[in-house]
Amino acid sequence: MSTFVLLHGAWHGGWCWRFVADILQTRGHRVTAPTQTGLGERCHLISDQITLTTFIDDLVNHMLAEDLTDAILVGHSFGGNALSGAAEAVPDRIRELVYLDSTVVAAGQKPAEIIDPVKLAKQLDQSDGIAIPPPGPEAFGILDARQAAWVQPRLTPHPVSTMNAPLPIKGVPGNGLPARYIACTQPIYHSPDQVFDWADRSGWPVEELATGHDAMVTDPAALVEMLDR
Supply the residues annotated as catalytic.
77
Instruction: Name the 3-class secondary structure at 207.
Output: strand
Angle at CA of residue 122, ends 120 and 125, nearest 5° = 110
Whole-angstrom distance, CA of residue 176 vs CA of residue 171 = 9
- DSSP letters, 33-62, are ----TTSGGGGGG--TT--HHHHHHHHHHH
- DSSP letters, 84-142, are HHHHHH-GGGEEEEEEES---PPTT--GGGTS-HHHHHHHHHHS-SSEEPP--GGGGT-
Whole-angstrom distance, CA of residue 87 vs CA of residue 41 = 26
